[in-house]
């Protein structure tokens, strides 16, 4: 496994991150048992993957908590919360309650990264005014180490929310969609994150390519992950699966020597 320092944080993270959401949610959405999902997380840890990204809405926090029990010291835990509930914009009090629930599920007293999740451009002002001060308070209490924000890439493919967020200095990390079909973050996001020391977690590295291309899975994975891995400004490439063997293949693709420029789209 290869490791890097995540932006300006003190977190030494694997360049491969295990994503516990997406279409699979560690296989749970496709009929896997909790023990099978736990085996995927344990395999990731055995391969040297130390960044595990989950979320309240994925319903995988408890699985992750069970999987990392006894190994917490070596794991960088990332979890997230949406910024709305059934009644509208999320209150600071509700955000604190959600973090408490996540800590309980994850069997820890502090998460390394806490993201406001899937934020749309119109929701950002509420995040800054109401939720960020609460996150600062929770950080002072020792319940989280670093603040992050993730975009809703499918609805905001031009990264309008993140472009605005990166004008503020409160974010230690961002989660951004980037792949060879949608590489706009190269111009609009990565120069800003690199200049500001903001760590990046890359999502959607391969998901859309698997849906659109007719090549074999191995070829797609090598091209898709190779494209992202060689991009300056891409710190951690997230990959999600419910299969141990698929996880191993994806790790190999990400860690393989970067593809030459003529092999993948510029």
Domains and CATH numbers, the chain: 3-255 (3.20.20.100)
Residues of the chain with pLDDT under 50: 211-214, 216, 262-266
Q: In the prediction, which pLDDT does 214 show?
A: 42
Strands 51-53 and 84-85: unpaired
Q: Which of 200, 233, 194 is nearest to 53 (CA)?
A: 200
Q: In the prediction, which pLDDT does 257 show?
A: 56
Q: In the prediction, which pLDDT does 213 show?
A: 41
75 vs 65, 78, 172, CA distance in Å?
11, 10, 18
pTM (predicted TM-score): 0.92
Q: In the prediction, which pLDDT does 167 show?
A: 97
239/247 Cα distance (integer angstroms):
8
Q: Treating both helix axes as pointing N-terminal to C-terminal, what angle do 217-229 and 244-255 enclose, rounded to 10 degrees?
A: 50
Taking phi over 0 as left and psi of -120 to 50 as alpha, with beta for the rest, 7 belongs to: left
107 vs 9, 43, 67, 135, 197, CA distance in Å?
23, 19, 10, 20, 30
125/58 Cα distance (integer angstroms):
25
190/60 Cα distance (integer angstroms):
29
16/51 Cα distance (integer angstroms):
7
Q: 215 is written with which tokens?
A: 């090549």
Contact 114, 84 (CB under 8 A): no
Catalytic residue check, 146: no
Q: In the prediction, which pLDDT does 217 show?
A: 67
Q: In the prediction, which pLDDT does 264 show?
A: 46
18/247 Cα distance (integer angstroms):
9
Q: Can you tell me whether residue 61 is helix, strand or coil? A: helix
Active-site entry in 58, 114, 146, 225: 58
48 vs 219, 248, 254, CA distance in Å?
24, 11, 13
């Amino acid at each position: 496994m290869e490791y890097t320092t995540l932006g300006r944080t003190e977190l030494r993270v694997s360049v491969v991150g295990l994503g516990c959401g997406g279409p699979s949610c560690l296989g749970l959405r496709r009929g896997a048992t909790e023990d099978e999902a736990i085996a995927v997380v344990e395999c990731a840890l055995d391969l040297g993957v130390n960044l595990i990204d989950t979320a309240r809405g994925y319903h995988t926090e408890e699985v992750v908590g069970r999987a990392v029990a006894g190994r917490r010291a070596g794991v960088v835990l990332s979890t997230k919360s949406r910024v709305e509930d059934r009644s509208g914009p999320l209150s600071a009090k509700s955000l604190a309650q959600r973090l408490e629930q996540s800590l309980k599920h994850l069997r820890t007293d502090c998460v390394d990264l806490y993201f406001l999740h899937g934020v749309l451009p119109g929701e950002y002002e509420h995040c800054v005014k109401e939720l960020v001060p609460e996150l600062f308070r929770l950080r002072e209490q020792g319940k989280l180490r670093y603040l992050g924000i993730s975009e809703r890439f499918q609805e905001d493919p031009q990264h309008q929310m993140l472009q605005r967020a990166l004008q503020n200095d409160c974010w230690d990390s961002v989660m951004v969609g980037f792949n060879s079909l949608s590489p706009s973050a190269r111009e609009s996001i990565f120069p800003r994150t690199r200049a500001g020391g903001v760590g990046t977690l890359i999502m959607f590295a391969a998901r859309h390519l698997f849906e659109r291309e007719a090549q074999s899975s191995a070829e797609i994975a090598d091209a898709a992950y190779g494209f992202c891995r060689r991009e300056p400004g891409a710190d951690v490439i997230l990959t999600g699966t419910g299969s141990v063997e698929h996880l191993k293949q994806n790790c190999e693709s990400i860690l393989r020597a970067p593809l030459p420029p003529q092999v993948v789209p510029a």
